[in-house]
């Protein structure tokens, strides 16, 4: 029965239907299915489907946002006060650097990370680099995701790695994405990875996770 309901949940999320998804997730919780399992076998499966659908050429925000809105609602039902560290796949700091207020991409990445079971600390838009680093240090983060649409933030993004090293935080990975940043290679941007799409960034994290295991 749970497997059928899980598929109904997946269908509802892919269909962008918030009300239906919440009904299905509540059914699963009533059947004592643990939130971690709903994330792993339900929400994360949606991500796999979206990843297949949204190739680099056919990626569009609207499709992602529709699913993202449902994922956010489902995650809120599962974890009303946020995903606890003990159950999370890791902690990610995310932000749009100072000088850039385009946060749509960042918000989508945040939702998808949460849907994959990561604990996400959102530093917002127009955010000083120091704030991202402080949050990463305080929260013992696994990675910092930096989203940026405009070229003027590039010099600031390049500073993040050296500032992390100054604080002996060399294990924290830096992932960059967004209109301007993805035009550069990771080496030119002085980050660990440049993600073409949100799913590309998620796959980088998955590979990191597998390496750690």
Partner 1 sequence: MNSIERITKALNFEIPDRIPVIPQIFGHAAVISKVPLHEYLRDGELLARCQIKAFQRYKYDAVFGLMDVCVETEALGSVLEYKKDYYPLIKKYALSGATDPELLSIPDPYQTKRMSELLKAIEILKAELGDEILIVGCVLGPMTLTVQLLGAERALYLAIDDIDKFTQILDFAKTVSLKFGLAQIEMGAHLPLVFEPSGSPAVVPHQFFREFILPRLKEIFSEYKKAGAAANWLHIAGHTGSILSYYPEMGVDIANFDYYVDPLKAQKMLPKTCLDGNIKSLCFIEATPAEIASKSKKLLDLFANRGGYILSSGCEIPPESNPENIVAMVGATK
Work out how close the CB of 155 gets to partner 1 at its nearest, in angstroms, rounded to a whole number: 9
- Binding track, positions 178-197, relative to partner 1; x by CB under 8 A: --x--xx---x---------
Q: With binding defined as CB under 8 A, does residue 85 bind partner 1?
A: no
Are 17 and 71 contacting, i.e. CB atoms less than 8 angstroms apart? no
CB of 151 to partner 1, least distance (A): 4
150 binds partner 1 (CB under 8 A): yes
Interface with partner 1, residue 48, by CB under 8 A: no
Question: Which spans in 15-153 are helix H?
Answer: 18-30, 35-38, 44-53, 61-78, 104-115, 129-138
Considering the rule CB under 8 A, would residue 61 count as an interface residue with partner 1?
Answer: yes
Nearest approach, Cβ of 65 to partner 1 (angstroms)?
A: 6
CB-hemisphere CA count at 13 Å for 191? 26
Of 149, 145, 146, 61, the closest CA to residue 100 belongs to 149
Residue the block writes with tokens 């305080």:
138
Which tokens go with 123? 């530093």
**One of 73, 104, 186, 208 touching partner 1 (CB under 8 A):** 104
With contact defined as beta carbons under 8 Å apart, do 35 and 71 qualify? no
For partner 1, give the closer residue by CB, 15 or 207.
Answer: 15
Left, alpha or beta for 16 (phi > 0: left; psi -120 to 50: alpha)?
A: left
Which single residue is written with the structure tokens 């405009």?
A: 150
Number of residues lying near partner 1 (CB under 8 A) = 26
**Is there binding between residue 58 and partner 1 (CB under 8 A)?**
yes
Cα 110 from Cα 66, distance rounded (Å): 14
Q: How far is the CB of 194 from partner 1 (least distance, A)?
A: 12
Q: Which is nearer to partner 1, 56 or 213 (CB)?
A: 56
Task: Indicate which single residue of 60, 86, 162, 166 sits in contact with partner 1 (rule: CB under 8 A).
Answer: 60
Residues that bind partner 1 in the complex, under the rule CB under 8 A: 16, 56-63, 65-66, 69, 99-101, 104, 107, 126, 150-152, 154, 180, 183-184, 188
């Amino acid at each position: 029965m749970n497997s059928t309901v899980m598929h109904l949940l997946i269908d509802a999320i892919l269909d962008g239907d918030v009300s239906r998804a919440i009904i299905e997730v509540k059914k699963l919780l009533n059947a004592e299915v643990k939130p971690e399992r709903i994330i792993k076998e339900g929400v994360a499966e949606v991500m796999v489907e979206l990843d297949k659908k949204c190739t680099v050429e056919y990626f569009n925000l609207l499709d992602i946002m529709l699913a993202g809105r449902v994922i956010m609602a489902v995650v809120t039902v599962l974890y009303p006060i946020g995903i606890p560290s003990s159950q999370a796949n890791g902690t990610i700091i995310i932000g749009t650097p100072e000088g850039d207020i385009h946060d749509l991409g960042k918000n989508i990445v945040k939702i998808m990370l949460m849907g994959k079971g990561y604990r996400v600390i959102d530093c917002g838009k127009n955010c000083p680099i120091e704030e991202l680093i402080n949050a990463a240090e305080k929260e013992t983060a696994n990675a910092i995701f930096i989203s940026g649409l405009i070229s003027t933030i590039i010099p600031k993004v390049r500073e993040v790695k050296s500032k992390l090293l100054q604080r002996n935080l060399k294990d924290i990975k830096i992932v960059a994405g967004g209109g301007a940043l993805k035009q550069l290679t990771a080496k030119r941007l002085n980050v660990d990875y440049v993600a073409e799409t949100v799913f590309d960034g998620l796959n980088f994290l998955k590979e990191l996770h597998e390496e750690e295991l």
